[in-house]
């Protein structure tokens, strides 16, 4: 583990001392090296065209869409390969200038769970190779795969095309399994093996935070020299303070004077929306007068292991005696989501695991503080005590205590919200795209050097 000392851990310690300076791994100077002209991006299990908050669509969808657009804006064309999930889709869709989405037929369109996708990777790889066969040699300069399923296809494609592979894990089986929610199924051994192979094969690994970089080295024996930290961004044009909280509440038909703790995300044990409900029940039990003051929206659809019991959260609200306070709302488009964030008194994220917690930055950009579990990337996304509150662990009583502060201190939302909006400004997608382009350039440089020395 001594290899790690200077490269990651030291930087984490140094970065923690400066609140607004996100930790980054230094890349080799890339001034005179060529950046890629065209990147093949792989997203097997979730399409960038899908609605976030439904099924397996979430932060990773937003990440791929925004990153691809900003890369195209700095003259790196992106082609995203994803699995076709309905019949009759056009083979190629232009998502934005310089960004194409290619639909690959692999397995039945409907009803294929993420767990069944490994069996379709061969078919998916075949589709990717077919698309490539129609191009001249050297058409793609680099492969960037997202999540372990894509990593396996990326590994084969990069080898076949003689180009570097850059991989982003987004989540890791070993990390998830170490912090399972009660009743949640552990990730299978096949995924752990698959991730280990990809870590060994990739030319570069992109981590969302210094902690994730640390985990790649600790759990998967990644070479620290191959791991780069690039924080995801937030669309600062869409997620803004806008015309304020009162106007957002009016548009959504929410009570103006209520305390509104919001849950927004996929409804599954990992995201722990039940902890918010239990915390609200705890508050009301202790002080029944809060019944008239609390309004609790849950915006999102069931996903992952939550699909087994889609009505589970409704039943829990009834059992806890707070069905009148909890308001369920299906997933919404990003512009509407910004309004929900603006309207809230606080966004609540009690997750058991978050590689970054993009939603936390989005909410803060609209001027809303965040109450979150101190896990994964959330300590980077949320400045504890300044732009929100981090809670160690998942005891609903602890969340109830912190929520009570938003009831008792009417100015807390605005005070923390103003700091939150400022904090979020350092997480723009332009910064993320430029950091990613640097990783690409370094990967290409190393790859060329290795090929030369091999042939030399």
d(CA 128, CA 42): 9
Instruction: State pLDDT tens for residues 132-160.
Output: 998 998 999 999 999 999 999 999 999 99
Q: What CATH superfamily is the domain 245-425? A: Glycogen Phosphorylase B; (3.40.50.2000)
Mean pLDDT for 45-67 is 74
SS3 83: strand
Give the dihedral sign, CA 114/119/125/128.
negative
Supply φ then ψ for residue 221, to 5 degrees.
Answer: 55, 40
E strand or H helix that includes residue 63: helix 59-73
Distances (CA, A) of 228 to 31, 149, 212, 330: 17, 21, 10, 36
- Would the pTM of this model clear 0.85, i.e. be above it? no
d(CA 171, CA 192): 11
Tell me yes or no: is domain 38-233+429-445 CATH 3.40.50.2000: yes
Mean pLDDT of 88-102: 94
pLDDT confidence of residue 23: 40
- Give the range among 29-43, 223-237, 334-348 with minimum mean pLDDT: 29-43
Binding region for UDP-N-acetyl-alpha-D-glucosamine: 51-52, 59, 266, 271, 332, 354, 362
- State the chain's mean pLDDT as an integer: 88
* Numbered residues of the known binding site for 1D-myo-inositol 3-phosphate: 45, 56-61, 114, 147, 171, 191
User: What band does 4 get if pLDDT is binned at 50, 70 and 90?
Assistant: very low
Two tokens, residue 209: 């935070």
Give the domain ranges of the chain. Answer: 38-233+429-445, 245-425
The residue behind tokens 């005590």 is: 385
Task: Give the model's confidence band at 307: pLDDT under 50 very low, under 70 low, under 90 confident, else very high.
Answer: low
- Residues 273-287: pLDDT tens digits? 999 999 999 999 999
Question: What's the mean pLDDT in 224-242?
Answer: 94
Q: Which residue has the tokens 């589970």?
A: 312
Residues of each annotated binding site: 45, 51-52, 56-61, 114, 147, 171, 191, 266, 271, 332, 341-342, 344, 354, 362, 368
Return phi, psi of residue 193, to 5°: -65, -45
160's tokens: 């076949």
Annotated binding site for Mg(2+): 341-342, 344, 368
Residue with tokens 């919001």: 262
């Amino acid at each position: 583990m001594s290899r790690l000392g200077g490269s990651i851990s030291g930087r984490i310690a140094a970065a923690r001392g400066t609140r607004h300076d996100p930790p980054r791994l230094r890349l080799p100077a890339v001034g005179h090296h060529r950046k890629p002209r065209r990147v093949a991006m792989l997203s097997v299990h979730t399409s960038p065209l899908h609605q976030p908050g439904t099924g397996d669509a979430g932060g990773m969808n937003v990440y791929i869409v925004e990153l691809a657009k900003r890369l195209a804006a700095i003259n790196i064309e992106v082609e995203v390969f994803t699995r076709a999930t309905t019949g009759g889709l056009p083979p190629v869709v232009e998502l934005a200038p310089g960004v194409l989405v290619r639909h690959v037929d692999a397995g039945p369109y409907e009803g294929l769970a993420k767990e069944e996708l490994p069996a379709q990777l061969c078919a998916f790889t075949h589709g990717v190779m077919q698309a490539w066969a129609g191009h001249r040699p050297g058409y793609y300069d680099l492969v960037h795969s997202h999540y372990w399923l894509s990593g396996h296809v990326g590994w084969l494609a990069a080898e076949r095309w003689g180009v570097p592979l850059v991989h982003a894990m987004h989540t890791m089986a070993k990390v998830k399994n170490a912090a399972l929610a009660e009743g949640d199924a552990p990730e299978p051994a096949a995924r752990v093996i698959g991730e280990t192979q990809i870590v060994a094969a990739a030319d570069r690994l992109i981590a969302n935070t210094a902690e994730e970089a640390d985990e790649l080295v600790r759990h998967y024996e990644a070479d620290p020299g191959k791991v780069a930290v690039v924080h995801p961004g937030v669309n600062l044009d869409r997620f803004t303070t806008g015309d304020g909280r009162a106007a957002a509440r009016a548009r959504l038909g929410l009570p103006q004077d209520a305390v509104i703790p919001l849950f927004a995300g996929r409804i599954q044990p990992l995201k722990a929306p039940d902890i918010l409900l239990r915390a609200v029940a705890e508050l009301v039990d202790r002080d029944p007068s809060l019944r008239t003051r609390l309004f609790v929206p849950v915006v999102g659809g069931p996903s992952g292991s939550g699909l087994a019991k889609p009505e589970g959260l409704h039943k829990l609200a009834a059992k806890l005696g707070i069905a009148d306070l909890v308001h369920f709302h299906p997933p919404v488009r990003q512009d509407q989501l910004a309004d929900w964030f603006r309207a809230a008194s606080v966004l609540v994220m009690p997750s058991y695991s978050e590689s970054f917690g993009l939603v936390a930055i989005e909410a803060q950009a609209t001027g809303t503080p965040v109450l979150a579990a101190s896990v994964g990337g959330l300590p980077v996304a949320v400045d504890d005590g300044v732009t929100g509150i981090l809670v160690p662990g998942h005891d609903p009583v602890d969340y109830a205590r912190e929520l009570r502060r938003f009831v008792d201190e009417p100015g807390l939302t605005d005070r923390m919200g103003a700091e939150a909006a400022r904090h979020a400004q350092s997480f723009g997608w332009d910064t993320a795209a430029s950091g990613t382009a640097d990783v690409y350039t370094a990967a290409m440089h190393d790859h060329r050097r290795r090929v030369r020395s091999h042939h030399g």
